């Protein structure tokens, strides 16, 4: 896979970016790819890590494997200065879209997209993914004014947040994927949670 196609585009805090830089190489060594890192004020503090394999899957066994590998590294690097809960999970059905290949893989499904820069006077879009054209996301917008082109092209480099919209078609696609792979016990989210004590 090319480096350009593997790059993540997502808005993260400085702390989240640092944690992602620590975790991503470990995940890749195991055959996984980091999807998202979030530090949230849940249960005091929660570090949420989403990852997947090259087919977009991530089972409970995968969660456990990645958790076991990143735990000691996070202990050493100590990127969070207080006690926290580590939550490792699959991206879920209405998953974040963070790479060019995500928009190719999920073409035909509906997505919400937020940009860091204006396109056509707006930053937020919702429509059906048509795929990629070069480094642009192609989106088909519903309910455009009469005579207006429903197709918009959004620069991937301006992507702040994007996720699939939970629709019947998406749920059906998840159901079929679960039938094809019995290791995926739950089509929603596979999650492993571990409490981390403050190291200091």
Q: Given the structure tokens 């207006």, which residue do they identify?
A: 148
Token pair in block for residue 143: 């309910």
pLDDT at position 176 is: 86
Residues 113 and 85 occupy one common structural domain: no
Give a yes or no: residue 58 inside a domain: yes
Q: What is the tens place of the pLDDT at every residue in 122-135?
A: 999 999 999 999 99
Residues 8 and 89 occupy one common structural domain: yes
* Residue 35: exposure state from Cβ atoms within 10 A (0-12, 13-18, ≥19): buried
What CATH number is attached to the domain comprising 17? 3.30.300.70
Residues 81 and 104 occupy one common structural domain: no
Q: For the residues 32-37, what does the mean pLDDT come to?
A: 97
Query: Which helix (H) or strand (E) segment is 29 a member of?
Result: helix 14-29
CA distances from 14 to 11, 21, 49, 51, 116 (A): 10, 11, 15, 19, 16
Give a yes or no: residue 176 inside a domain: no
Range of weakest confidence among 4-13, 17-26, 60-69, 88-97: 4-13
Residues 89 and 108 occupy one common structural domain: no
User: What is the number of domains present in the chain?
Assistant: 2
Question: Which pLDDT band, with edges at 50, 70 and 90, does 12 fall under?
Answer: very high
Question: Which pLDDT band, with edges at 50, 70 and 90, does 2 fall under?
Answer: very low
Residues 137 and 66 occupy one common structural domain: no
Give a yes or no: residue 173 inside a domain: no
Give a yes or no: residue 170 inside a domain: no
Residues 12 and 81 occupy one common structural domain: yes
Q: What is the tens place of the pLDDT at every residue in 61-79?
A: 999 999 999 999 999 999 9
Q: Evaluate if residue 181 carries a pLDDT over 70.
A: no
Residue span of the structural domain in which 161 resides: 100-165
Q: For the residues 130-159, what does the mean pLDDT come to?
A: 95
pLDDT at position 1 is: 41
Give a yes or no: residue 186 inside a domain: yes
Residues 47 and 144 occupy one common structural domain: no
Q: Are strands 122-133 and 32-40 parallel, antiparallel or unpaired?
A: unpaired
Dist CA 8 CA 149 (whole Å)? 29
What CATH number is attached to the domain comprising 136? 2.30.30.180
Please, how many CA atoms are within 13 Å of residue 155, restricted to the half-sphere of its CB? 8
Residues 25 and 107 occupy one common structural domain: no
Please, what is the average pLDDT of the chain?
Answer: 89
């Amino acid at each position: 896979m090319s480096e350009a196609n593997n790059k993540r585009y997502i808005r993260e805090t400085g702390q989240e970016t640092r944690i992602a830089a620590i975790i991503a190489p470990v995940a890749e060594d195991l055959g996984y790819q980091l999807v998202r890192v979030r530090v949230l004020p849940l249960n005091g503090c929660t570090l949420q890590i989403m990852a997947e394999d090259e087919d977009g899957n991530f089972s409970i066994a995968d969660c456990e494997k990645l958790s076991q590998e990143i735990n000691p590294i996070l202990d050493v690097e100590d990127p969070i200065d207080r006690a926290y809960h580590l939550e490792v999970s699959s991206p879920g059905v209405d998953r974040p879209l963070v790479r060019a290949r995500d928009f190719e893989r999920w073409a035909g499904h509906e997505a919400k997209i937020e940009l860091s820069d204006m396109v056509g006077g707006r930053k937020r879009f919702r429509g059906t993914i048509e795929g990629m054209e070069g480094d642009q996301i192609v989106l088909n917008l519903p309910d455009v004014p009469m005579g207006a082109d429903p197709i918009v092209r959004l620069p991937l480099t301006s992507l702040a947040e994007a996720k699939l919209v939970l629709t019947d078609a998406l749920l059906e696609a998840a159901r079929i994927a679960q039938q094809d792979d019995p290791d995926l016990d739950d089509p929603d989210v596979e999650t492993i949670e571990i409490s981390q004590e403050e190291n200091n």
